[in-house]
Chain A
Amino acid sequence: MRNTIVSLLAVVFGLLAGAILMAVTGHNPIEGYTYLMQGGLKNTERLGNTLATATPLIFTGLSVAFAFRTGLFNIGAAGQMLIGGLCATAIGLTFDWPRTVLLAAMVLAGFIGGAVWAFLPGLLKAKYNVHEVVSTIMLNWIAFWTVNYAVPAYFKAESLETESRILPEAATLRVPGLTEMFDGSYINLGIFLGLIAVIVMAFLIDRTTLGYELKAVGFNRHAAEYGGIAVNRSIVVSMLISGGLAGLGGMVQYTGNAANIQIGILPSQGFDGIAVALLGANSPVGVLLAAIFFGLLYSGRGFMNAMTEVPPEIADSIIAIIIYFAATSILIERLVRRFKGRLPLNRSGTAPQQGKGE
């Protein structure tokens, strides 16, 4: 409950700050937001695009949230996405298997690629107590350069140096049924993978001994060790799962939303995953909702930019402001408390059930 209020207020503050930003740069915020919302929701195609944009964010959000639950800060989702995407793309471009087999292999490759990339930070943390924030940042850049040299060397597109060949239709997550249902949107099977991941993670975290162990390690590594939990193994397992989720994020991005992999950028979804996890209070359902919200901002910004003069980066700015407010949740909690303290009479109004008892 408290988390929900904090998250909602962070969103409100982020949108307010975005409005101020638009106003001071000479744009009309109401107009801007109207087109932003329309751009994400106006028709079924745009709705589909919003969901598709949200898909990789669901995965990176789950990735970061899962690591958080074990007390780890996986800031390397971007790199794990790249490697997961590269592995899936490599399978898709290389093999000519029946579609189900091929897609299953690509999902597996995406997961394994991301997991492998997160394995090293997990191992370094467990064995040498190397802080995972630093090691995952380093591995982000190693992934960046790996893709940068591997793609032109092995999967070069015919005309462009900066991206891989286009995947054959059968090796992408697009299915005609979905595309038609959403009027030509680029929505794809990835969204279903995302929903499955949300459910699996919720179950894993809350109902299994593995979840019990990982959370215990996250809350208090010493007590977990005392209780007989293999702490080092838990750290590595947690990073493997977290990395695997991010790798799947890369897979749905490069073989679902896009049909090839580009070089020269660290995918922003990796860092947005931190914002998604934070806004979703590290709960699987929260992550899902936060990802869809960010998906809306991202997919609506193009339309807004076409209809107004507001630069599309307003969406990125709003997200960055939201993550700042979510990170400083104490500020919001203080404000809430002060608000409640100053208006004691209003309290019964906001909580009528309690008012009756008094």
Chain B
Amino acid sequence: MGELWTILQQIAPYAIVFTIPLLITALGALFSERSGVVNIGLEGLMVVGAFMGAFIVFRLQETMDNKAAAIWIGLLAAFAAGVVFSLLHAFASINLSANQVISGTAINMLAGALTIFLSRNMTGSGNIRIQQGFLPFDIPLLSDIPLLGPLLFTKTYWTTWLILLIVAISTFTLYKTPFGLRLRSCGEHPHAAEAAGINVRGMRYIGVMISGGFSALGGAIIIMTFSGEFSGTVSGLGFLALAALIFGQWRPLGILAATLFFGFASTVANVSQAIPSLAVIPPFVLKVFPYVVTLIALVLFSKTSRAPKAAGEPFDSAKR
């Protein structure tokens, strides 16, 4: 028991850092799907954010003395780039009634190809390494709390707290404001929303754009916390975020729980060989764990799924 606790203390900060990009990306996807647009382009949007973040920080840190400010500007730029890039998906799904899965796939392929194409034009190798990312720190006082302190408040990043704040605000927005009610109605029954005078297309644009911005933020946070280098991919984290959205049953707290769960599973898989008591579990099992549990969840929830009813269906106001 004691040993397990030590291990948990050791890996918790890493697991949380790994969770955060997943969390923000899945949360963005929640907005998109609640508005009625399925977004499987999360992976690509994260790549866009990672590229833009890395590129801006790389350039700014060459000239700026304030390295931290450069990182924050990079985050903002990544967010904006994600919003803009997601417009491609929004336009295809909302205005052109395109198959949303195909459009999302195109986003993934386009982001992967285009960002390397651009970064190769700049660096030759296609990789962009930033000088300095966010630095982890212990929160004074809070990190001294027994039990919880070492788990939650040591080796923590500013971005972690920013994202948790965004999660709280998003939850409130979705369930306690007129905007949230309207957005959700567009994903459940767009014709009812239209009859109530809501601009369904507009709401869906907002949903997709939030998803684009949040995913890109997630991608950039990867670069600026644990990775430090853009290499043209986020290794399937976007798809893992999609899994978390489903496993979390399209609810903010469910998503929080699912991403934490996936974050811990992945971290354990990464470090298990170094920690004797975890080495007994084959890393393969830990690696495929999130995907397997998502499949199981899909089966278990198949009868009672809370997926937005109209997600994935093009909205055609003439059809009644």
Touch A–B, Cβ below 8 Å: yes
Please determine whether B298 and A271 come into contact, CB atoms closer than 8 angstroms. no
Q: State the CA gap A266–B145 with chains docked (Å).
A: 44
Partner of A124, one of B88, B112, B120, B298: B298
- Nearest B residue to A138 by beta-carbon distance? B291
Q: State the CA gap A129–B246 with chains docked (Å).
A: 14
Note all chain B residues with C-beta closer than 8 A to A138.
Answer: 239, 243, 291-292, 294-295
Note all chain B residues with C-beta closer than 8 A to A331.
Answer: 96
Note all chain B residues with C-beta closer than 8 A to A316.
Answer: 109, 112-113, 116-117
* Chain A 268-303 interface 0/1 with B at a Cβ cutoff of 8 Å (1 = within): 000110110010000000000000000000000000
Q: State the CA gap A134–B105 with chains docked (Å).
A: 13
Given contacts A124-B299, A130-B302, A327-B92, contact A75 B117 (CB under 8 A): no
Please determine whether B106 and A320 come into contact, CB atoms closer than 8 angstroms. yes
Please determine whether B284 and A271 come into contact, CB atoms closer than 8 angstroms. no
* Chain B 235-263 interface 0/1 with A at a Cβ cutoff of 8 Å (1 = within): 01001101100100000000000000000
How many A-B pairs have beta carbons closer than 8 Å: the answer is 131
Please determine whether A317 and B117 come into contact, CB atoms closer than 8 angstroms. yes
Please give the distance in Å from A26's CB to the nearest CB on chain B.
8
Given contacts A75-B105, A274-B102, contact A311 B92 (CB under 8 A): no
Please determine whether B103 and A327 come into contact, CB atoms closer than 8 angstroms. yes
- Nearest B residue to A323 by beta-carbon distance? B106
Q: State the CA gap A252–B121 with chains docked (Å).
A: 33
Please determine whether A73 and B106 come into contact, CB atoms closer than 8 angstroms. no
* Chain B 106-135 interface 0/1 with A at a Cβ cutoff of 8 Å (1 = within): 111110111011101100001000000000
Q: State the CA gap A314–B109 with chains docked (Å).
A: 12
Q: State the CA gap A327–B106 with chains docked (Å).
A: 8
Please determine whether B103 and A313 come into contact, CB atoms closer than 8 angstroms. no
Please determine whether A145 and B110 come into contact, CB atoms closer than 8 angstroms. no
Q: State the CA gap A239–B106 with chains docked (Å).
A: 22
Note all chain A residues with C-beta closer than 8 A to B291.
Answer: 138-139, 141-142
Given contacts A142-B292, A278-B102, contact A135 B298 (CB under 8 A): yes
Note all chain B residues with C-beta closer than 8 A to A321.
Answer: 110
Please give the distance in Å from B216's CB to the nearest CB on chain A.
18
Interface: A319 (CB within 8 A): yes
* Chain A 128-157 interface 0/1 with B at a Cβ cutoff of 8 Å (1 = within): 111101110111111011101100000000
**7 contacts across the A-B interface (CB closer than 8 A):** A25-B121, A73-B101, A124-B295, A142-B288, A274-B102, A311-B121, A324-B106
Residues of chain B touching chain A, judged by Cβ–Cβ distance below 8 Å, are 40, 88, 91-92, 96-99, 101-103, 105-110, 112-114, 116-118, 120-121, 126, 236, 239-240, 242-243, 246, 282-284, 287-288, 291-292, 294-295, 298-299, 302
